[in-house]
Amino acid sequence: MPATQISAAWHVLATLPPDDTTPRRISLGNIGALHDGLGEFSLQIGQRVAAAAPLWREQFGIAFDFHLREKLFGLFGSEVGYLP
């Protein structure tokens, strides 16, 4: 993970209560096509969050869940959760 991402992660974590292990839920809601517009943006954000998820879970105890259409469950791999 690049230093700028680690720095941003620490900044976010500094604002959390010390015992806060609530999963972070990211709603991508009703995205349809993933190849343009909001779908492409959501895909890129989701991929980056999913790539960082194992480190955040290991170092900070924070998990991520994505809220999106059930047909897209698994899109970001098994290191994150999915909610309908």
User: Is 8 part of a structural domain of the chain?
Assistant: no
Mean pLDDT of 2-23: 55
pLDDT (tens digit per residue) in 15-56: 555 556 677 888 887 777 888 788 888 899 999 999 999 999
β-pairing, 24-29 vs 81-83, is: unpaired
pTM above 0.85, yes or no: no
In a domain, 64, yes or no: yes
Q: Which domain holds residue 63?
A: 22-83
pLDDT exceeds 50 at position 67 = yes
Q: Determine, yes or no, domain membership for 53.
A: yes
- Bigger pLDDT: 9 vs 82: 82
Q: Please indicate, yes or no, if residue 9 is contained in any of the structural domains.
A: no
Give the count of domains, the chain: 1
> Would you say residue 17 lies in a domain?
no
Question: What is the residue-wise DSSP string for the chain?
Answer: --HHHHHHHHHHHHTS-TT--PPEEEEEET---SSSHHHHHHHHHHHHHHHHHHHHHHHH---EEEEE-GGGTTTT-SSSEEE-
Closest to 22 (Cα-Cα) out of 62, 51, 82:
62
- Is position 2 within any domain? no
Q: Examine residue 4 and state whether it is found in any structural domain, yes or no.
A: no
